Amino acid sequence: MPKWITKKFLILALLIVLLILFLTFVLPLAVPILLALITAFFLEPIVKWCKEKFKWNRKTAVITVFILFLLLITATLYFTITQLVGQIIQLTKIAPDYFNTLSLSWMNVQSKLFSFTQGMPIEVVTSIKNELDEFLNTMQKAILGIVSYNSISKLLTGIPNFLVSFIVYIITLFLFMLDLTELKKMVFRHLTPATAEKVRFMTSRLNSVIFGFLKAQLLASLFILVGSFIGLLFIAPKYAIIMSIVIWIIDIIPILGSIAIVGPWSLYQFVIGDIAMGTKLAILALVLLVIRRAVEPKLMGSQIGLSPLATLIAMFIGLQIFGFLGLIIGPFVVIIFTTAKEAGIIKTNFKL
């Protein structure tokens, strides 16, 4: 047996294989439980603060923090889901009538356009007409496909699965919050003093990363608030203040972002025939998306200790593997690796 195949190497290889199997087969099924554990770690400093500030026992502090967190997340989900679903359902009802109006308006535009093509070869005029008709039909089918009853039905049938996952997440979160200190003790019993110190270093580092991540998200959303307010002052001054605040609140949620508000709003304006308004909102959505993608890597890099390039690469790879959730998972995986390297758990001082 080669000398480099040691017991430590075999254990490390086994751990890597188990990690790959976990990420491939277990993680997609255990996302609510994993999120509950991460949330419990995030809420732990608040629980400790309540214990020290109000002289409460752990159970009282956990129940209080859990109830406040539950109220916050319930209000956010209720506002987001009811508003989004309500607007989509309303849009499906009025879309056909507005598309008829849009078609008539489009015919008038075509007649004016063809008045400028007089004198051109008939083949050129016919080609232009066919291209315009194909563009309109394609856009109409695409929009109707998005807001069709089949799409709404799929969305509604996915709600029970979401509710089950949400209930599992909430129950698991409460149990994790209650038993987090015991879980830590159970883990540390199986660690040597040197390894325990390294794990404590990693935990402290990850706690700072979590707060740094949240701070970066808040700062990035403030750029979106300013950008959306300035843009809406020119597009829809009447709704500039209230809609920029709504966009800002939704943008704080990493998975949704400002596009969740501006995108459907722009689509709605296209459907009702206000092409100018829809185009302006579409441009605003694109600008906000560019601002978010340009600012976020820099802010996250400065707050969580990664270079903008490493953060951008981690977010891109995470997006490709895990979807939108990967925008969060990617940088955290890199942070965990970097922290483990700093703690001496992972050594990379080899030469080829």
- For the stretch 207-246, pLDDT in tens is 777 677 777 777 888 888 898 889 989 888 887 888 888 8
Residue 117 has pLDDT above 70, yes or no: no
What percent of the chain stands above pLDDT 90?
A: 7
Tokens matching residue 7: 């017991």
- Residue 4: pLDDT band by 50, 70, 90 thresholds? low
Kindly state the average pLDDT of the residues 320-332.
73
Tokens matching residue 38: 């991460």
Tokens matching residue 146: 């998005």
pTM (global) more than 0.75:
no
Tokens matching residue 61: 């502090």
HSE of 117 in the Cβ direction (CA atoms, 13 Å)? 15
pLDDT of residue 63: 94
Instruction: State the residue for tokens 């942070």.
Output: 335
| Cα–Cα distance for residue pair 264/78, rounded to 1 Å | 18
Residue 116 has pLDDT above 90, yes or no: no
Maximum Cα–Cα distance across the chain:
89
pLDDT of residue 151: 62
* E strands in the chain: none
Q: Report yes or no: 246 and 264 within 8 Å, Cβ to Cβ.
A: no
| Cα–Cα distance for residue pair 199/188, rounded to 1 Å | 9
Residue 3 has pLDDT above 80, yes or no: no
pLDDT of residue 320: 79
Question: Which of these, 83, 105, 102, lies nearest to 144 by C-alpha position?
Answer: 102
Number of residues assigned to the chain: 352
133: left (phi over 0), alpha (psi -120 to 50) or beta: alpha
Torsion of CA 47, 49, 53, 54, to 10 degrees: 0
Residue 146 has pLDDT above 60, yes or no: no
pLDDT of residue 295: 79
For helices 308-322 and 326-343, angle between their N-to-C axes, nearest 10 degrees = 130
Please list, in sequence order, all residues whose beta carbon lies within 8 angstroms of the beta carbon of residue 168, skipping any fewer than 6 positions away.
32, 33, 36
Residue 176 has pLDDT above 90, yes or no: yes
| Cα–Cα distance for residue pair 337/282, rounded to 1 Å | 39
- Residue 37: pLDDT band by 50, 70, 90 thresholds? confident
Tokens matching residue 118: 């007089």
Question: Which of these, 207, 209, 310, 295, lies nearest to 257 by C-alpha position?
Answer: 295
| Coil/strand/helix, residue 307 | coil
pLDDT of residue 97: 66
Kindly state the average pLDDT of the residues 36-45.
85
